[in-house]
Amino acid sequence: MSATDLSDSKLPTVIGILIVGAGPAGLGVAQALLACGIEDLLVVDRKGVGASFEAWPQQMQLLTPSFHSNPYQQPDLNAITPDTSPADYLGTQHPCGTQYASYLRGVAEHYHIPVESWTTVLEVQKLLEGWLVTTSRGIVHCQFLIWAGGEFQFPERGRIAGTEGLSHASEVADWTTLDGVEHAVIGGYESGVDAAINLAKQGKTVHLLSRGEPWHTNDPDPSKALSPRTRDRLREVFVQRPGSIRFYKNADIVRVEKLRDDYLLFDAEDTPLQVSTPPILATGFKGSLGLIAGYLEWEAGRPVFSEASDESTVAENLFYCGPLLRHRGSMFCFIYKFRARFGIVARTIAERMGVVWRKPLARHAACGFMIEDLSCCTDCQCAVAAVGEDPPEVRDFKGSVLPAVC
Ligand SMILES: Cc1cc2nc3c(=O)[nH]c(=O)nc-3n(C[C@H](O)[C@H](O)[C@H](O)COP(=O)(O)OP(=O)(O)OC[C@H]3O[C@@H](n4cnc5c(N)ncnc54)[C@H](O)[C@@H]3O)c2cc1C
């Protein structure tokens, strides 16, 4: 148990601010509140600090590079406070999950962030005054509730029939332990491409199937296009193991069937692809908002948060911090994006508590941890047009798949 981990202590029954989730979002917003001198807060986590990163596949590393540029008011892209840097703390540019979790524990210790591990929030109820939160270790009444439960621990299985028993990419602990020489990966965004690269590096053949053609997207927003890090890794595979990753566009898989020892993947028009190993799902994440869904406004299946303070638009004093945040159609799904709102949430709560925030949050404001001008969401074009680049060979799922052996 770390100095900040209170899991052997008694859970308080009343607290000013309860933060759910001890990942980058929960710890980052907690530090911003502590910077304002607000200590009546508690972070709870169903596992512990950095639990999602501890669960990353062994080979997975942060895509966003770390570099200690903080003194120049441009904090390390993966930092969760203005004055810490994973690059400096870990001495690496692309930390793996366990390394980044150790950075998070370092931050929690340094800023004395109170964390109760092994405390799962089971139910949330709005009261006339504040919130009643039922946890696995007791009931807590709080005035402000900040949800920072993340997404990684809640995989989306993609509404594909017959996938029971198949692994989601986030559930694979180590890509070197998979049997077989040929794999199908369903989903062509970052997680799917990461899986394909890790398998190809072991000399395996990978069928990478995706709706549309996400690897082709030449979008200036890194949340919508493959990251430069992933493109570099793909280029390496194209040179070292040409042909090992087969890209299939327009592959909208709707069902998987077992055929003796093999698996058949079908799209809606019954085009089959036969593989000898269980397909891997890289179909995204549904996120952790289930318990508070009833206290949020939803638009086209997405939660709406106020532009002023990332607060629920229908339930006062319920805030969200983390990668599911969207404003003006823009996704805040990277740390450097959602941390831009830590200072905003902290400021709002400080104001409501009558606490001075301007000077205490000056570093947050100066370092991009307190961005209120959301025009950053509406124009992320680079002044110089990007040079487009696609994988060397992409097949259309319908035209290129061999008939299955039935
Ligand atoms: C595969 C993948 C790769 C990514 N790579 C990058 C990257 O390279 N760079 C980047 O900036 N971002 C990346 N992201 C975005 C990523 O979501 C964030 O970096 C980060 O993990 C989100 O932080 P978080 O604190 O919101 O969530 P998490 O780190 O998931 O933390 C949430 C915490 O909440 C806890 N929790 C959840 N529900 C409950 C509950 N009911 N009760 C109590 N505790 C609960 C969990 O145990 C967990 O510890 C990646 C995401 C994924 C899925």
Q: Best mutation site among 52, 175, 232, 292 for ligand 1, i.e. most ligand atoms within 8 A of its Cβ? A: 52
Distances (CA, A) of 68 to 100, 106, 112, 264, 405: 15, 16, 22, 48, 55
- How confident is the model over 122-130, as a mean pLDDT? 96
What angle do helix axes 24-35 and 97-110 make, rounded to 10 degrees?
A: 20
Cβ-contact 330, 221 below 8 angstroms: yes
Q: Distance, CA 152 to ligand 1 centroid (Å)? A: 5
Distance 245 CA to ligand 1 centre (A): 28
| Amino acid (one-letter) located at 364 | H
57 vs 301: CA distance, rounded Å: 29
Q: Whose CA is nearest to atom 10 of ligand 1?
A: 334
Same CATH fold assignment for domains 14-153+286-372 and 169-283+384-400: yes
pLDDT attached to residue 217: 65
Q: What is the mean pLDDT of the chain?
A: 92
Residues with CB under 6 A from ligand 1: 20-26, 44-47, 51-52, 62-64, 78, 120-121, 148-153, 191, 285, 288, 322-323, 333-335
Give the whole-number percent of the chain exceeding pLDDT 70.
94
CATH match for 169-283+384-400 among 3.50.50.60, 3.40.710.10, 1.10.10.10, 3.40.50.1580: 3.50.50.60
The single-letter code of the amino acid at 341 is R
Q: How far is the CA of 216 from the centre of ligand 1 (A)?
A: 26
* pLDDT interval class at 219 (50, 70, 90): confident
| Residue 23 alpha carbon to ligand 1 centre in Å | 6
**Rounded average pLDDT over 215-236:** 84
**Minimal-distance CA residue to ligand 1 atom 50:** 334
Residue 283: closest CA among 401, 182, 160, 178: 160
What band does 394 get if pLDDT is binned at 50, 70 and 90? confident
The pLDDT tens digits of the residues spanning 54-113 come to 999 999 999 999 999 999 999 999 999 999 999 999 999 999 999 999 999 999 999 999
pLDDT value of residue 398: 79
Cα–Cα distance for residue pair 358/343, rounded to 1 Å:
10
**Total length of the chain:** 406
Percent of the chain with pLDDT over 90: 82
Q: How many CB atoms lie within 10 A of CB 186?
A: 29
Determine the Cα–Cα distance for residues 268 and 101; give it in Å rounded to an integer. Answer: 41
Q: Which atom of ligand 1 is nearest to the CA of 24?
A: 25
What's the CA-to-centroid distance between 334 and ligand 1, angstroms? 10
Supply the residue whose CA is at minimum distance from atom 15 of ligand 1.
Answer: 334
Return the biggest CA–CA distance within the chain. Answer: 71
The pTM of the full predicted model, rounded to 2 decimals, is 0.94
Determine the Cα–Cα distance for residues 267 and 253; give it in Å rounded to an integer.
4
Q: For position 53, what pLDDT does the model report?
A: 98
Nearest CA to ligand 1 atom 29: 23
The tens digit of pLDDT for each residue in 14-55 reads 999 999 999 999 999 999 999 999 999 999 999 999 999 999
Asked whether the predicted pLDDT for residue 406 surpasses 50, the reply is no
> What's residue 147's pLDDT?
98
Assess contact for 268 and 175: CB atoms under 8 A: no
User: Using N-to-C axis directions, what is the helix angle for 342-353 and 24-35, rounded to 10°?
Assistant: 40
How far is the centre of ligand 1, averaged over its atoms, from the C-alpha of 288 (Å)?
Answer: 10
231 C-alpha to ligand 1 centroid (Å): 23
In three state form, how does the secondary structure of 236-291 look? HHHHHCCCCEEEEECCCEEEEEEECCEEEEEECCCCEEEECCCCEECCCECCCHHH
Q: Give phi and psi for 356, each to the nearest 5.
A: -70, 135
Nearest alpha carbon to residue 65 among 99, 102, 101, 93:
93
pLDDT in tens, 157-173: 878 999 999 999 999 99
Question: What pLDDT, on a 0 to 100 scale, did the predictor assign at position 383?
Answer: 73
CA of 320 to the centre of ligand 1 (A): 13
pLDDT digits (tens, 9 = 90+) for 310-366: 999 999 999 999 999 999 888 899 999 999 999 999 999 999 999 999 999 999 999
Edge-first strand order for the sheet with 182-186 is 280-281, 182-186, 205-209, 245-249, 394-396
Answer positive or negative: Cα dihedral of 240, 241, 242, 245. Answer: negative
Domain locations in the chain as residue ranges: 14-153+286-372, 169-283+384-400
What is the model's pLDDT at position 7? 62
Q: What is the pLDDT of residues 268-287, one digit of tens each?
A: 899 899 999 999 999 999 99
pLDDT for the residue 180: 96
pLDDT exceeds 70 at position 146: yes
Is domain 14-153+286-372 in CATH 2.160.10.10, yes or no? Answer: no
Residue 1 has pLDDT above 50, yes or no: no
Atom 38 (ligand 1) nearest CA:
149
Ligand 1 atom showing the smallest separation from residue 49 Cα: 49
Q: pLDDT confidence of 5, banded at 50, 70, 90?
A: low
Which long-range contacts (C-beta less than 8 Å, at least 24 apart) are formed by 267-274?
Answer: 267/397, 267/398, 269/398, 271/397, 271/398, 271/401, 272/401, 272/403, 272/404, 273/184, 273/207, 273/209, 273/248, 273/397, 273/401, 273/404, 274/402, 274/404, 274/405
